[in-house]
Chain A
Amino acid sequence: MSTATPTTPAPEGASLWHDAWLRLRQNRMAVAGFVIFAGITLLCLFGPTFFTRHAYDKTQLEAHFKNPDATHWFGTDALGRDVFIRVLKGGQISLAVGFLATAVSILIGVTYGACSGYVGGKLDALMMRAVDILYSLPFTIFVILLMVIFGRNFILLFIAIGAVEWLTMARIVRGQVLVLKHAEFVEAARALGYSTPRILAHHILPNLLGPVIIYATLTVPAVMLLEAVLSFLGLGVQSPMSSWGLLIQEGAEKMDIYPWLLIFPALFFSATLFSLNFIGDGLRDALDPRAAKD
């Protein structure tokens, strides 16, 4: 006979990710940021195929500098092109450059920084000096060199920007790894005989996510601005293509006469940057509750 001991179900193990998700959902600003960001991204991706009344490269000389109205929601530019479609098209480029370049920089930066920090010693010194040397290269000259060797190419822009932006990422990751590798749980993992790649992937990387994500949300806008600079120098996207940075730069020259040329792209650009910052902020709080402000 067995006494029926009440079987309390074992408390379900809440994973790190589940916890984080719950915390993130409670952060209203982050959720709002996420919604706005998703909205802008979807609009930019599918807008030009959906609103086919105007084409981004269709010039209509007689319709230059038209005020925003029912046909041209955001007005037209100097060549009579519809600003609404140009803002969406420019968004595709800006977002693509921003995210792809950031992805490249995360991929290189995290791998490089984690190896350098975890292995330490002479290799660490060597790898970090290499970073220092790359840091000292003037960026514009580096890009011009790339252009001279490979010709003007849009893909190259991602690689060039990503290849420069990873440096700071590598330094941040290395610093974190230096702290983490002496943490007790890493010592424990090592004592249990886990291999170095496993320790790096399972124990150190998840703890790096906070700083990496925060830095990534800062990298995206920086990269978008960089793209605008390059385009202005004639090294980035060229007309009739456009990007937010370029549209803003063009609009800024004419803002006192044709304000809509600046207002709309700037609105989209800053809304994206704002929401990215709130998302980054929310993610940091969610992933690393110790660092939360409250």
Chain B
Amino acid sequence: MNRAGRKVFCLATAIFLAAFQISCQRPLSNVESGNRDQVLHLGNGTEPQGLDPHIVTGVPEHNILSALLEGLVTEDPKTLQPQPGAAESWTISPDGLVYTFRLRKNARWSNGDAHTAQDYVYSFRRILNPALGAQYAYMLHVLRGARAFNEGKSKVAWETVGVEALDDHTLRLTLEHPTPYFLELLNHYSFWPVHPGTIERFGAFEKRGTPWTRPGNFVGNGAFVLHEWRVNSRIIATPNPHYWGAANVALKAIHFYPIDSADTEERAYRSGFIHRTQTVPIHRIDDLRERRPGEIKFETYLGTYFYRLNVTKKPLDDARVRRALALSVDRAGLVSNITRGGQQPAFHFCPPGTGGFTAGVGLKYDVEEAKRLIADYLKATGQSRVPPIEILYNTSESHKVIAEAIQGMWRDKLGLDVKLLNQEWKVYLDSVMQANYLTSRAGWIGDYNDPNTFLDMWLTDGGNNNTGWTHARYDELIRQASRAPDIAARLACFREAEEILAREVPVVPLYFYVNVTMRHPSVQGWHPNVLDHHPYQHVRLKAP
């Protein structure tokens, strides 16, 4: 081989080896590179409905918005106790009606604009404005005069609503009744501020769906800003340099991935694509518990899984049939054999310990009693068979398994003819809203840690009632609770309300949620809590 030849040969070998080296090097997974660069990758359920805090209603939206916006009050990541947020301090009048907030002077909007009390007045006015038609506007009805203004009664001036900016940095909120959970309520996104300049620029004061929520347009006051939003692919939030606590924010970015399927999400987690899943497929729980004991998390969650009963349709218009359905469900068997995440069987509606309230046992597992009730019903109505019952659920493997188990119980124990019907999420929501179902599965996650968030659903005009159930005494009790003089009187109202629910059974509570997720050990400062709220400014990544 001559010299030139040798040179070419050496070069070729070098190139070959280099190429070999590159091809052998496994690219870093999201989790590995994320741990290095402080980039958090999160599975986030579905594509968010939007990012306008006054419009959205879901959990995936909350997960993103809590990075982008901050309320007057935030919460301790462990205990959920109110902590100073955009307001550095507050005073409460002795009668519990007037809250005066002092805003942080160093707080800024993400575009550098001053952050003032007037912005809150503007935001509250926007969500309460009847023209916007915000579904969650009822959260603000605790403010004095807000309900009348929101319902658009004639000649209700905005000035009558108990929201007032005393100066640039002092905000005074006046309530209708003393509300012990008001500070926690303030941490719900319906109370979060929007940037008036941005809203005005896009004419979004009364209009939904304007592009003000797009990256580049969105102006928030949270620890992060919206950097990128690719529909059905990912949303990226990066730190907000104007955030008052920016010095303490460790993460350099948060990536939210909309992954609908629990199975896909679990695979994404195993391949190191995300740091945390939203859920875990039921049939994998046992396996993951064995193989990844440190990563599968079972955390108490303030939520109830239940079946709505449509009381306007036969045979569910009869309380005996409804009660029989509730009594014949083997909840203990359901949670220990089907859901298997340590869920608690639900014999009443409001999860135990919500805001310090635990209802007495209302329902029980009593097949004999259930059979007797059905026999009574048949005798009283002169029928020989109970009309068929249909269970509606949204298409999902977990809901299906539970529905099949319930179907088996009602069929085997009560001899009922039970059919199943599954519908895609949006069709299902529509059927439930129009009461076009017999029984339908549902879940409710508390918006704040107080029984009211669960029990005010079943008010006659409750926006999420959808069962057609109406009970004068129940309505009275819930309203009475909101103006009760002390905690004991308040809880007594809720206790009686739960008793009515157990007697009348417009819903069949099945179990209290446990949040089952996968979380990578590198995620620090992520504390389990009943609302599954995790302020991202406290989160950091540390490779184990």
Contacts of B405 in A (CB 8 A): 59, 61, 79
- B421 contacts A239, C-beta separation under 8 Å: no
Which of B21-29, B110-118, B304-312, B333-341 binds A? B333-341
A79 to B263, CA, bound (A): 19
- A59 contacts B404, C-beta separation under 8 Å: yes
- A234 contacts B404, C-beta separation under 8 Å: no
- A253 contacts B397, C-beta separation under 8 Å: yes
A152 to B392, CA, bound (A): 13
- A238 contacts B421, C-beta separation under 8 Å: yes
Which of B145-153, B202-210, B281-289 binds A? B281-289
In the assembled complex, the CB of B422 is this many whole angstroms from the nearest CB of chain A, namely 4
Contact of B404 among A62, A65, A232, A239 (CB under 8 A): A239
Bitwise, A56-85 to B at CB < 8 A (1) or not (0) is 011101101100000000000011100000
Query: Looking at chain A's contact residues, is the secondary structure mostly helix, strand, loop, or mixed?
Result: loop
- A291 CB-CB contact with B under 8 Å: no
Given A59-B408, A61-B334, A61-B338, CB of A152 within 8 Å of CB of B421: yes
Contacts of A133 in B (CB 8 A): none
- A190 CB-CB contact with B under 8 Å: no
- B281 contacts A253, C-beta separation under 8 Å: yes
A222 to B334, CA, bound (A): 37
Contact of A61 among B287, B337, B395, B411 (CB under 8 A): B337
- B420 contacts A238, C-beta separation under 8 Å: yes
Contacts of A238 in B (CB 8 A): 419-422
Bitwise, A143-155 to B at CB < 8 A (1) or not (0) is 0000000001000
- B338 contacts A79, C-beta separation under 8 Å: yes
Contact of A234 among B336, B395, B409 (CB under 8 A): B395
- B338 contacts A64, C-beta separation under 8 Å: yes
Bitwise, B375-409 to A at CB < 8 A (1) or not (0) is 00000000000000000000101001101110111
- B283 contacts A239, C-beta separation under 8 Å: no
In the assembled complex, the CB of B489 is this many whole angstroms from the nearest CB of chain A, namely 42
- B423 CB-CB contact with A under 8 Å: yes
Contact of A62 among B337, B395, B409, B423 (CB under 8 A): B337
Contacts of B286 in A (CB 8 A): 65, 257
In the assembled complex, the CB of A143 is this many whole angstroms from the nearest CB of chain B, namely 14
- B330 CB-CB contact with A under 8 Å: yes
Contacts of B408 in A (CB 8 A): 57-59, 79, 240
- A78 contacts B401, C-beta separation under 8 Å: yes
Query: Looking at chain B's contact residues, is the secondary structure mostly helix, strand, loop, or mixed?
Result: helix
Contacts of A59 in B (CB 8 A): 404-405, 408-409, 412
- A28 CB-CB contact with B under 8 Å: no
Bitwise, B283-299 to A at CB < 8 A (1) or not (0) is 11011000000000000
- Residue of A whose beta carbon sits closest to that of B340: A64
- B404 contacts A61, C-beta separation under 8 Å: no
- B338 contacts A257, C-beta separation under 8 Å: no
Given A61-B405, A238-B419, CB of A258 within 8 Å of CB of B283: yes
Bitwise, A231-260 to B at CB < 8 A (1) or not (0) is 011100011100000000010011001100
- Residue of A whose beta carbon sits closest to that of B392: A234
- A234 contacts B421, C-beta separation under 8 Å: yes
* Chain A: interface residue total (CB-CB under 8 A): 22
- Residue of B whose beta carbon sits closest to that of A254: B283
In the assembled complex, the CB of B268 is this many whole angstroms from the nearest CB of chain A, namely 15
Kindly identify, within residues 46 to 64 of chain A, every residue whose CB is under 8 Å from any CB belonging to chain B: 57-59, 61-62, 64
In the assembled complex, the CB of A174 is this many whole angstroms from the nearest CB of chain B, namely 38
Contacts of A65 in B (CB 8 A): 283, 286
A65 to B407, CA, bound (A): 19
Kindly identify, within residues 409 to 434 of chain B, every residue whose CB is under 8 Å from any CB belonging to chain A: 409, 411-412, 419-424
A257 to B407, CA, bound (A): 26
Contacts of B395 in A (CB 8 A): 232-234
Contacts of B411 in A (CB 8 A): 57
Kindly identify, within residues 320 to 360 of chain B, every residue whose CB is under 8 Å from any CB belonging to chain A: 330, 333-334, 336-338
Contact of A78 among B283, B412, B419, B422 (CB under 8 A): B283
- Residue of B whose beta carbon sits closest to that of A144: B427
Most buried by B among A152, A239, A240: A239
A155 to B403, CA, bound (A): 24
- Residue of A whose beta carbon sits closest to that of B397: A253
- Residue of B whose beta carbon sits closest to that of A261: B283
Contacts of B337 in A (CB 8 A): 61-62, 64, 80
A3 to B116, CA, bound (A): 131
Contacts of B412 in A (CB 8 A): 58-59
A239 to B424, CA, bound (A): 17
- B263 contacts A253, C-beta separation under 8 Å: yes
Contact of A239 among B263, B400, B423 (CB under 8 A): B400
- B330 contacts A61, C-beta separation under 8 Å: yes
Bitwise, B261-294 to A at CB < 8 A (1) or not (0) is 0010000000000000000011110110000000
In the assembled complex, the CB of B195 is this many whole angstroms from the nearest CB of chain A, namely 43
Most buried by B among A57, A59, A253, A254: A59
A240 to B404, CA, bound (A): 7
In the assembled complex, the CB of A39 is this many whole angstroms from the nearest CB of chain B, namely 30
Contacts of A254 in B (CB 8 A): 283-284
- A62 contacts B283, C-beta separation under 8 Å: no
A179 to B473, CA, bound (A): 81
Contacts of A257 in B (CB 8 A): 283-284, 286-287
Contacts of A57 in B (CB 8 A): 408, 411
Contact of B403 among A61, A239, A250 (CB under 8 A): A239
In the assembled complex, the CB of B164 is this many whole angstroms from the nearest CB of chain A, namely 52
A271 to B409, CA, bound (A): 35
A240 to B420, CA, bound (A): 8
Contacts of A80 in B (CB 8 A): 337
Most buried by A among B401, B404, B412: B404
Contacts of B338 in A (CB 8 A): 61, 64, 78-79
In the assembled complex, the CB of A40 is this many whole angstroms from the nearest CB of chain B, namely 26
Given A79-B338, A79-B401, CB of A240 within 8 Å of CB of B407: yes
A239 to B422, CA, bound (A): 10
In the assembled complex, the CB of A286 is this many whole angstroms from the nearest CB of chain B, namely 45
In the assembled complex, the CB of B88 is this many whole angstroms from the nearest CB of chain A, namely 51
Contacts of B283 in A (CB 8 A): 65, 78, 253-254, 257-258
In the assembled complex, the CB of A28 is this many whole angstroms from the nearest CB of chain B, namely 42
Contacts of B404 in A (CB 8 A): 59, 79, 239-240
A64 to B401, CA, bound (A): 11
Contacts of A78 in B (CB 8 A): 282-283, 338, 401
A80 to B287, CA, bound (A): 17
6 shortest A-B CB distances, which residue pairs?
A: A59-B408, A61-B337, A234-B422, A61-B333, A238-B420, A239-B404
22 A-B pairs within 8 Å (CB atoms) are namely: A58-B408, A59-B408, A59-B409, A61-B334, A61-B337, A61-B338, A64-B338, A65-B286, A78-B282, A78-B401, A79-B338, A79-B401, A79-B405, A233-B395, A234-B424, A238-B420, A239-B400, A239-B420, A240-B404, A253-B281, A253-B283, A258-B283
Q: List residues of chain B with CB under 8 Å of any chain A CB.
A: 263, 281-284, 286-287, 330, 333-334, 336-338, 395, 397, 400-401, 403-405, 407-409, 411-412, 419-424
Q: List residues of chain A with CB under 8 Å of any chain B CB.
A: 57-59, 61-62, 64-65, 78-80, 152, 232-234, 238-240, 250, 253-254, 257-258
In the complex, besides A78-B338, A232-B395, A233-B395, 15 extra interface pairs with C-beta distance below 8 angstroms are: A57-B408, A57-B411, A59-B404, A61-B337, A62-B333, A62-B337, A78-B401, A79-B401, A234-B395, A239-B404, A239-B420, A254-B284, A257-B286, A257-B287, A258-B283
